[in-house]
Structure 1
Amino acid sequence: MSKESDVSDTIVLGAGMVGVSIAYHLAKRGRSVVLVDRREPGHETSFGNAGIIQREAVAPYPFPRDAKTLMQVVPNRRVDIRYRPTGMLESASALFHYWQNSAPAPYARILPEYASLIGLSTQEHAPMIAAAGADALVSRDGWLELYRTHEAFESRLAKVEPLAKRFGLTYERLDRAALVEQEPDLSQDAIGAILWRDSWTVADPGGLVAAYAEAFKALGGRVIKASVESVEQSAEGWQVETDAGSLEAAELVMAMGPWSGDWLSRLGYRLPLFVKRGYHMHYALKEGHTLKHWVMDAEVGYLLAPMRAGVRLTTGAELANRDAPPDLDQLGAAEAVARQLVPLGERRDETPWKGARPCTSDMKPVIGPAPSHKGLWFAFGHGHQGFTLGPATGRLLGEMMDGESPAIDMAPFRADRF
């Protein structure tokens, strides 16, 4: 490439849902933007998630603090959470602060801040879905949060009602009979469910990210498939060396998900980041059976999603080193329970997929300017909700980068809060 073609207004590192959405919004604002990733857009963490745009997810996942739950976690046999001692040690400081922030007082402060971001989720996905011509991938029929015991069901509903009133959520309580009308092939283990009406589901999450990337390119944006070798501040702004050549821009956006920390440390930043890993596998349904909704087995801790590739089973969280070899016991445990709930057939993938969710100690993403470097912007740490929050992050960061007043207060998401 010529020197001139390597210069742009903005370089965005990371082509997951967050990075692609940022690139799209910046290009829509008239900037020349280069999007860089070692893989095609949507082929890392954004590829493997549950495929829900979770408008209802106003409450972030806290670290368990009660003794009963902690003692259940210790044997390391649960479906919803597994851990490896090496991973816990590597992230000990971040996990300790995560535990502290899950206490009632700090969590009560974090909740409305986090909810302000989630509140933008579907409304910001909508115009991008339209621009990408991706309506065929998206269903607006909601998803099911399923329960096996009346005690757990009633306890959850007691918490849901005030959250729904406070944050404008729409849901339906389904008893066993109403649930069977929605999903007749669920086993009798399911006694009821919450039908979340505001959230949307996506039949191919990686495909939606790829469609957004095509919409970005239609605005004049460039996608470069390359591995980043160095990131340096220059007199003109930022220089990024890749295995495909050198790139220069006045501004740089770091949106590399669970790999962001690698580059942050080289620039002198020490933020409380850690990962929650997850696995998925696709299955056929036995002949003559159906699954129409995304279904979370809430008391066990896995999710079933009827996608284009088959019924995707996604596990809960695994606290482990990002690059540690896979441990498939958690997936196997989830599959064994899922087969008792839904008539799953054969596996459709040769090997399970493994990915890592980028998390912070206060459950909120980092979105905004780097504290110590002009022209460097952060957008990572979205935890379980990067797929949900990508377009909202793109809008907000675009507003901040152009000196406008963002749609919501962004102080709770700045890197200098730590």
Structure 2
Amino acid sequence: MDCDILVLGAGIVGVSTALHLQARGRDVCLVDRAEPGSGTSHGNAGLIERSSVIPYAFPRDLGALLRYGLNRQPDVRYSPTYLPRLAPWLAAYWYQSAPRRLEAASRAMLPLVERSVEEHDQLVAAAGLEHLIRAKGWMDIYRSPEALARAADEARSLDRFGLRYEILDGDALRRREPHLGPVAAGGIHWHDPKTVLDPGALVRGYAELFVRRGGRLLTGDARGLTRRGDAWCLSVGDLDLQAPQVVVALGPQSGDLFRQLGYRIPLAIKRGYHMHYAPVEGAGLDHSICDAQSGYVLAPMARGIRLTTGIEFAHPDAPANEIQLRRAERLARELLPLGRRLDAEPWLGRRPCLPDMRPVIGAAPRHPGLWFNFGHAHHGLTLGPVSGRLLAEVMTGERPFTDPTPYGAQRFG
């Protein structure tokens, strides 16, 4: 079986890339070893995060570093045995988080962030998935007036980006979310983002749209990719797929393939967890909220109220560890009444992250016909459609909507 392009990975990035290539007349085969949207795309907080114009940087304040070093914070946890292996990557992340470099990363990411909602809107409409989307924005919650005042100053410093937000004192916050506990001193309501009631279902819906439009969705292991002459080849069951071009969009598994092909791209994994809770009768949640000082999100989802944790640095394949989830759950119950757990065990996800806080989108430097689209860190759901569009424009010779240079793999040598 031949096609024009193999897209490896059926998460939000791979499915979106396949749709954009298909829309430009290419015959695309989309391959994954699991169901679309069942990996990292399934377990996130469901935010299409238009307001995240500044990437998540490594803390550079000495007091914060000391607190994190104690390994008792709810937003970041690390495995002491894994930390030495990750130290070079963390050092590069710290280096890239210096003010001047963070500003450069922000400028690089802004064109993608600015188009994120618009690109989702187009796919949502085409796939008929409006029932999964809410246009209520989301809220950062603060536990003290002092923290709220600092956050308000930081929000005002972003006014040059034209973001829509409101600063809410405790009374105004509880008029919007009446069941928040007294520990919530106020918040910031960001209006530009949208939220998703079931991120996995959204990705599956996009994949169904791809199939309805004539695309082929196949089950296979991307690690079997080989090069024969001018073709990229992959055996999928009894089929031998061949294509002149291939896209690696495997999220946290992308390293399994690009390292096999000889690329030294510093992709690391930030782990995270989620758990669903039954709403307490008469005490629901209408907006997605982030406990900004503790790093977890509570989001109303189709299955219940989803709690997503912050960052865990541990071996990607290590068993799940409930320490961070239990810390976040204790704090979340102070903020909002939560019923029983609805999942038999916590979901564990892996975020693919690069130290300069931007993904790899573009051609592989040393292999004709090989393309990359991975490393979206905390914003894979947000940036999947827009990065899929950018790569499709570059691959098909269109004029890209923004300069793709900042995302090139060549920046890593």
Using the size of structure 2 for normalisation, the TM-score is: 0.98
Deviation of the 1:244 alpha carbon: 5.3
Q: 2:204 aligns with which of 210, 229, 240?
A: 210
Partner of 1:352: 346
Counterpart amino acid of 1:195?
Answer: H
1:58 aligns with 2:49: no
Question: The residue matched to 2:66 in structure 1 has which SS?
Answer: helix
Q: Contact 2:223/2:256 (CA < 8 Å) preserved in 1?
A: no
Partner of 1:155: 150
State how far apart, in whole Å, the 2-side matches of 1:168 and 1:331 are.
35
State how far apart, in whole Å, the 2-side matches of 1:113 and 1:132 are.
30
Partner of 2:110: 115
Q: 2:298 aligns with which of 304, 326, 349?
A: 304
Question: The residue matched to 2:399 in structure 1 has which SS?
Answer: coil
Gaps of 5+ in 1: 1-5
Q: Deviations over 1:365-405 (max 9, x none)?
A: 00000011111000000000000000001110110001122
Counterpart amino acid of 1:12?
Answer: V
Deviation of the 1:129 alpha carbon: 0.3
Deviation of the 1:67 alpha carbon: 1.0
Partner of 1:232: 226
Counterpart amino acid of 2:204?
Answer: A
Deviation of the 1:236 alpha carbon: 3.0
State how far apart, in whole Å, the 1-side matches of 2:263 and 2:244 are.
20
Partner of 2:249: 255
1:13 aligns with 2:5: no
1:378 aligns with 2:399: no
Moved segments of 4+, more than 4 Å: none
Q: Contact 2:42/2:199 (CA < 8 Å) preserved in 1?
A: yes
1:77 aligns with 2:72: yes
Q: Contact 2:218/2:236 (CA < 8 Å) preserved in 1?
A: no
Using the size of structure 1 for normalisation, the TM-score is: 0.97
Q: 2:289 aligns with which of 287, 295, 306?
A: 295
State how far apart, in whole Å, the 1-side matches of 2:101 and 2:37 are.
34
Q: 1:179 aligns with which of 173, 179, 188?
A: 173
Partner of 1:3: none
Deviation of the 1:243 alpha carbon: 4.7
State how far apart, in whole Å, the 2-side matches of 1:93 and 1:220 are.
45
Question: The residue matched to 1:385 in structure 2 has which SS?
Answer: helix
Q: Contact 2:219/2:236 (CA < 8 Å) preserved in 1?
A: no
Between stretches 223-232 and 151-160, larger displacement belongs to 223-232
RMSD between aligned residues: 1.1
Correspondences of 1:91-170 after superposition (within 5 Å):
91-163=86-158, 165-170=159-164
Q: Contact 1:229/1:242 (CA < 8 Å) preserved in 2?
A: no
State how far apart, in whole Å, the 1-side matches of 2:139 and 2:365 are.
41
Deviation of the 1:246 alpha carbon: 2.3
Q: Contact 2:12/2:41 (CA < 8 Å) preserved in 1?
A: yes
Partner of 1:48: 43
Gaps of 5+ in 2: none
Deviation of the 1:409 alpha carbon: 1.3
Partner of 1:391: 385
Partner of 1:408: 402
Between stretches 18-27 and 85-94, larger displacement belongs to 85-94
Q: Contact 1:226/1:244 (CA < 8 Å) preserved in 2?
A: no
State how far apart, in whole Å, the 1-side matches of 2:240 and 2:69 are.
48
State how far apart, in whole Å, the 2-side matches of 1:225 and 1:282 are.
29
Deviation of the 1:155 alpha carbon: 1.1
Q: Contact 1:278/1:357 (CA < 8 Å) preserved in 2?
A: yes
Q: Contact 1:19/1:255 (CA < 8 Å) preserved in 2?
A: yes
State the number of aligned residues. Answer: 412
Q: Contact 1:281/1:313 (CA < 8 Å) preserved in 2?
A: yes
State how far apart, in whole Å, the 1-side matches of 2:153 and 2:128 are.
39
Deviation of the 1:178 alpha carbon: 0.9
State how far apart, in whole Å, the 2-side matches of 1:38 and 1:364 are.
26
Deviation of the 1:235 alpha carbon: 1.9
Question: The residue matched to 1:11 in structure 2 has which SS?
Answer: strand
Q: Contact 1:229/1:241 (CA < 8 Å) preserved in 2?
A: no
Counterpart amino acid of 2:225?
Answer: V
Distance 1:229 1:413, change over 3 A: closer
Q: Contact 1:179/1:192 (CA < 8 Å) preserved in 2?
A: yes
Counterpart amino acid of 2:170?
Answer: R
Q: Contact 1:230/1:242 (CA < 8 Å) preserved in 2?
A: no
Between stretches 251-260 and 281-290, larger displacement belongs to 281-290
Deviation of the 1:79 alpha carbon: 0.9
State how far apart, in whole Å, the 2-side matches of 1:339 and 1:359 are.
30
